Amino acid sequence: MLVLEFKVRAKKHQYPAINEAIRTAQFVQNKCLRFWMDNQEVNKYEPDR
């Protein structure tokens, strides 16, 4: 798994957008992982099956 860490200096109104983007990425990653766990015959290059 790829882990990225960085520091951000943003304006107060930008933090909610950053948090939403991170939460959306985590949601998509978790959905893909769950799909692959439930469908063992599907490889990581066929998520649209």
* Inside any domain, residue 47: no
Reported pTM:
0.65
What values do phi and psi take at 37, rounded to 5?
A: -70, -35
- What whole-number percentage of the chain has pLDDT above 70? 84
* Inside any domain, residue 43: no
* Inside any domain, residue 3: no
Domain that holds residue 33: 10-38
Residue 38 pLDDT level (bands cut at 50, 70, 90) = confident
Q: Which two tokens stand for residue 14?
A: 């930008």
* Inside any domain, residue 45: no
Q: Which two tokens stand for residue 16?
A: 């909610």
* Inside any domain, residue 1: no
Q: How many domains does the chain have?
A: 1
CB contact burial 15-37 (16+ within 10 A = b; e otherwise) = eeeeeeeeeeeeeeeeeeeeeee
Determine the pLDDT at residue 48: 60
Specify the higher pLDDT residue, 8 or 1: 8
* Inside any domain, residue 22: yes
* Inside any domain, residue 5: no
Determine the pLDDT at residue 49: 53
* Inside any domain, residue 46: no
